[in-house]
Amino acid sequence: MQTQVIPTYVHAMGDYLTSTTAPYAARRLGVTPTTRRIVDGMAAMVGVQSLMTNYEGGAIRVLPMQAHLASDMAVGAGLLSAAAFMRDCPTRDRQLLAGLGAFSIVYALMTRPTSSHEWRQQAPSRSVGVDVTSTETATSVPGHGDVLDDDRFTMPSPAHTGLPG
pLDDT tens for each residue of 18-69: 999 999 999 999 999 999 999 999 999 999 999 999 999 999 999 999 999 9
103 and 29 share a domain? yes
Ordered alpha helix ranges (H), 88-146:
91-109, 116-126
Domain presence at residue 163? no
Same domain, 33 and 68: yes
Same domain membership, residue 148 and residue 113: no
pLDDT tens per residue, range 122-157:
665 544 554 445 454 444 444 544 444 444 444 455
Both 114 and 133 in a single domain?
no
pTM over cut 0.75: no
Q: How many domains does the chain have?
A: 2
HSE-CB of 13 using CA atoms within 13 angstroms? 4
Q: Domain check: are 80 and 152 in the same one?
A: no
Which structural domain range is residue 143 located in?
Answer: 127-158
Q: How far apart are the C-alpha atoms of 80 and 102, rounded to whole Å?
A: 7
Relative orientation angle of helices 33-52 and 65-85, to the nearest 10 degrees: 170
